Amino acid sequence: MRLGSKPFLLWSSSALSTVSAFRNFGSKSSAATTSLFAFVTPRHTQSRFDRIQLRMSSSTLDNTSQPSTLRVAMCQFPVTHHKDQNEQTAKSYLQQAKDQGAQLAVLPEIWNSPYATAAFPEYAEVLPDLGDSTAEHSSASQLLMVAAKEHNMWIIGGSIPERVEENGETIIYNTCLVLNPHGTVVAKHRKVHLFDIDVPGGITFFESETLTAGSTVSHFSTPFGEIGVGICYDIRFAEYAMVLRQKYNCVLLVYPGAFNMTTGPAHWELLQRARALDNQCFVVTASPARTTEENADTNSKYPHYAAWGHSTVVSPWGEIVATTDETEGLVVADLDLSLIQQVRNGIPIGNQRRTDLYSLEEKQK
């Protein structure tokens, strides 16, 4: 099977045509069709993977009943200071993802609130727990539960500020809910590594001003394999991703994220490719669309935050499968799951680690 031999679709509401590109790394040609919607041209590069003869060994993945492909949709849309508007936008994008045949939809980080530490407590909601399937919670979680069930689709719900009352104290987390096609919460990831940085001449931001860090390594089981979840800054920590791969054998790592105009151009793609190569799995990211000072909410009381955008899919070979720019749109990609085992068999780092010299440990809290 050639890397990238499956088609992927790219869709954007901000332009006037659609491109359905069939990537073939043994050829530089692609097929495209146009319709009422549009998208930027995907990146085309030729892969050396086509020229490598893989020595197949015993599989570490149970492929007896695992589907061969997974269609993923990343919803990249602008976030406003109007919670109701953000929810309607998310609902619309989830419908579009379903219309495009997505089996898994991913929303961006902090999609219901301005990305500002002072805004998080104001926009925070009480969220359901693992195993919950009753749509009697916050408006955001209700939206996700209903959409997952109505669309018969897995949803990684980006993240929203979560409010927890504990011992008379209010705690705010940056939380991602994962829903199965029955609308049941199957994972609840609270951002483990808070975005506290001070880059001279770039950006200063301290999530810890109002947020509390989570304390779990989050993953969930699907017919497609185990899927791991992190949020934005979590992607910088290779150990977190390696636990998901080595202990839970994740085939896909998903990071809703909102990188900025300082770290985005420098590190966004690099980190995704690194995590994909480290763990020989697919990596998917979903970002908010970028707003500028000119088109941002003029009535918002919170400082403007410009997201980098560029929601992306990276293959286990470390190559870009699908991506976009900073504008609003839906990115839909077919993941060829057989590629995971091909890469792991060809470069068997999982069997070559020197555990007599070093080890990786997940600590339960």
What dihedral do alpha carbons 38, 159, 309, 146 form, nearest 10°? Answer: 0
280: closest CA among 304, 249, 257?
Answer: 249
On whether residue 359 sits in a domain, the answer given is no
Q: Considering the candidates 6, 75, 83, 109, report the single residue annotated as catalytic.
A: 109
**Do the beta carbons of residue 34 and residue 49 sit within 8 Å?**
no
Q: Considering the candidates 191, 250, 269, 319, report the single residue annotated as catalytic.
A: 191
On whether residue 82 sits in a domain, the answer given is yes
Report residue 340 as tokens: 């995971």
Predicted local distance difference test score (pLDDT) of residue 135: 62
On whether residue 55 sits in a domain, the answer given is no
Is 91 catalytic? The answer is: no
Residue type, 76: Q
- Structural domain containing residue 160: 7-44+68-346
Predicted local distance difference test score (pLDDT) of residue 63: 53
Is 362 catalytic? The answer is: no
What dihedral do alpha carbons 62, 64, 66, 67 form, nearest 10°? Answer: 150
Strands 225-229 and 218-222: antiparallel
Q: Considering the candidates 75, 232, 250, 281, report the single residue annotated as catalytic.
A: 232
Report residue 234 as tokens: 């979590």
Cα maximum dimension of the chain: 63
What does the buried/exposed string (b/e) look like for 256-288 if buried means 16 or more CB atoms within 10 Å of the residue's CB? bbbbbebbbeeebbebbbbbbbbbbbbbbbbbb
Helix axes 83-99, 139-151, angle to 10 degrees: 10
CA 313 vs. chain centroid, Å, equals: 9
Per DSSP, helices labelled H in 100-217 are 119-123, 139-151
Residue whose pair of structure tokens reads 């069997």 in the numeric block: 351
On whether residue 320 sits in a domain, the answer given is yes
pTM (two decimals):
0.85
Q: Any idea what the CATH number is for the domain that residue 328 is in?
A: 3.60.110.10
222 by DSSP, 3-state: which? strand
In the chain, the number of structural domains is 1
On whether residue 199 sits in a domain, the answer given is yes
Predicted local distance difference test score (pLDDT) of residue 7: 36
Predicted local distance difference test score (pLDDT) of residue 300: 83
On whether residue 323 sits in a domain, the answer given is yes
Is 191 catalytic? The answer is: yes
On whether residue 358 sits in a domain, the answer given is no
On whether residue 190 sits in a domain, the answer given is yes
User: Which pLDDT tens digits describe the chain residue by residue (365 residues)?
Assistant: 333 333 344 544 333 222 233 233 233 333 222 222 333 334 444 444 443 333 333 334 555 578 899 999 999 999 999 999 999 999 999 999 999 999 999 999 999 999 999 999 999 999 999 999 886 779 999 999 999 999 999 999 999 999 999 999 999 999 999 999 999 999 999 999 999 999 999 999 999 999 999 999 999 999 999 999 999 999 999 999 999 999 999 999 999 999 999 999 999 999 999 999 999 999 999 999 999 877 666 678 999 999 999 999 999 999 999 999 999 999 999 999 999 999 999 999 999 999 999 999 999 77
Residue whose pair of structure tokens reads 């936008």 in the numeric block: 89
Catalogue the long-range contacts made by 162-165 (C-beta closer than 8 Å, 24 or more residues apart).
162/124, 162/125, 162/126, 162/127, 162/190, 163/121, 163/124, 163/125, 163/126, 164/126
Report residue 199 as tokens: 């880059």
